Amino acid sequence: MCKRQKRFGKDDEEYYTIKGDDIHLSLDMLNHAWENRYDKAILFSGDGDFVQLVKYVKGKKKEVQMVSFDELASRNLINEVDKCIFINKKIANKFFYRLKKKKTIKKD
């Protein structure tokens, strides 16, 4: 649903960013609230741009919780949601699969 956009950083290093994800998330959250498809929304973001979205959704009598890194969370958003759950890098990494490195035994 979102668009990947190519960017270039220092030393012409190529990387991609996701564009349009905020608007898609907002539209889904609003539409589903209006259609009464949920009672509680969990927003995985601390972006203050979502404050108005949260206000509208709560106006439909929906509970809104947020999950965010504390240092990235907008205080305005924190004040608007019903509950905040703060995570750190260690907690977030538990949800990503990583191949385990094989231990190598040195032979003399």
pLDDT of 62-102, one tens digit each?
999 999 998 999 999 999 999 999 999 888 888 776 667 66
Q: Is residue 88 part of a domain?
A: yes
Q: Is residue 105 part of a domain?
A: no
Q: Domain limits at 84?
A: 3-93
Q: State if pTM tops 0.75.
A: no
Residue 72 CA, distance from chain mean position:
11
Q: Quick one: 77 exposed, middle or buried, by C-beta within 10 A (0-12, 13-18, 19+)?
A: buried
pLDDT averaged over the chain?
A: 86
- As for how many domains the chain has, the answer is 1
Q: What is the CATH number of the domain that holds 19?
A: 3.40.50.1010
Share of the chain above pLDDT 90, in %: 55
